[in-house]
Structure 1
Amino acid sequence: MKKLMSVAVAMMVGLSVTACSNSPKGDGTVATVNGQKITVSEYETTLALYKQSVEAMYGKNVWDTEVEKGVKYRDKFKENILDQMINVEVVYEQAKKDNLLPTKEEVDKKYNELKKNIDSDKEYKKDMEKIGANDEFLRTQQEQDLAVQNYKEHFDKTIKISDEEMKKYYEDHKKDYYKDEVKASHILVSTQDKNGKPLSDEKKKEAKKKAEDLLKRAKSGEEFSELAKENSDDPGSAAQGGDLGYFSKGMMVPEFEKAAFNLKPGEISDIVESSFGYHIIKVTDKVNEQTPYNDVKDSIKTILLNEKFTEQVTKLTKEAKIEKNKDVLDKIKI
């Protein structure tokens, strides 16, 4: 559920979320931020933009998933998107006070690049028009996105993160910097057809027989990478001789993970069955070590800066005068 919930919250930097406008467009107001309006049309268009991404990842039935007792994902999604639009407007206002707004030329450049990308894809352009992402919406989006980026960059330059803070974070999160990884290759004999449907019992028996024959050849000393290139049904790794690179726990299906982490470098597994089919796994390396502080201190600094930025946005939002129009919000459907 945590992963599902996070999809509803756009990152402050990197993903644009259109917030407020002085124009009277739209048939109502969903919220005001220090007197600035977030109109129904702006809100609905933003919802529609992110709705496409959510459905692409989780399917169209995701909206009725219960994420909290008595709360469906659709309602939490609506709430989170509006809160994010409010946050963007609050940061935009602060950027304006601090003389950090982008120039017209900068906005024009980013807007023209976006328009060029949209115009080059007819289907995408049609989708954007369908949800109401017109030129005004897109331009406002780019302007506010640049303003937020400017404010974040300025914030990062002015906030000092001490070495003591970074070392404390490292000690408090030491387990996050412990490497427990396996480097492995595999040969997959699939038990699914091209449409992802399970094979018949007879075809599955044939697949297992093929896997057993390949296992004998691999354990008798034939080159594993060549066997994978010629026989593996995993298109993502077959061309690389079955090489999957390094992976940690939680990245592979349970059956595959258990077998791989129980092997020593150079060992080949027996046949491992998963929902994808029959796997033959060869472990080529294992890493089990604590990553030194000096190797991760730059990433820790970025984490701490982002945490402080989030605290700053929360502070600015608490200080702002915000009014939500619940009656209007309740009528908006996903």
Structure 2
Amino acid sequence: MKSVRGRNPEKESMLKRKLKAEPLLILVGILLLCNVIWFIAWLIPNKMEQDGEKVASVGKVAITRGQWMTAMEKEVGREVLLDLVNENVMEAAAKKYKINVKDKEIDLELALIRSVDGLSYTDVDEEKVRKMIRSDLILEKVLTKDVVIKDKAIKSNYDENKSLYNLPTSYRTAIIVLPSKDEAEQALGELSGGSSFDVLAKERSVDVGSANLSGDIGYINDTTQSIDQAIVKTAAETKAGKVSGVIELEDGTFAIIRVSDIVKGRSFKFKEVSEHIRRELALEQLPESINPEAFWKEFDAKWFYGK
């Protein structure tokens, strides 16, 4: 028996609409492809134009963006890439060895570093500093995970060095040092008028070391021995974000102080620092210093500069 399918007007209507839409979709696809090709064609010469763009000149000799970028890569490119590779290697190590680094551990390390060396990390932003400390902690934890340190040794070390964990309030300080009171007062007037502290420190401060850092002398506190005590005292009396008046220093010069940050002092109890001490004692037992590059092969790390 021959079967005959009945007509379905609704399906026929849908098929007609589909057939009419297909050429339109093809046309849209072609236009989209043309736009992509045009964008790529535009991007390539634009990149070339950027490389050839003049960013400076000396007389009639132009310095192009391409020259500038190449010089920067040679100057700092290797170190920046090395940091990025090491950071990722340490993160891979943390995952493999189930290493956990808590924020409070980073806080402790940062506080201890600043109490010993006020200039540490002062030229690096906070987020970057914390990443660097995190990588260091991962490395230390991996290296010392199998080293056994007795609780008695940890407690003894804490008792002998308890003062190291009683941290005084510290002040992030910058200075402008000038040879006379008149010059210092003139500079103070300019600061009041809106002049940049950083610029004045670089241009006029006779303290060469801090002038090169826009006046920055890092975090200082009551225990800082290398700084004129008049500076320490004035910093303690200055609010964060404020500039002091003119003060006289021991050597007869005059200074203006700026405090940009204040870290409140605190005392760390044994429980808070016991793991830090254990790790420090364990590191002392290692035969040699080891850096993240020692783990590159284990985690198949490769980079632009070779093996």
TM-score w.r.t. structure 2 length? 0.38
Larger radius of gyration: 2
TM-score w.r.t. structure 1 length? 0.35
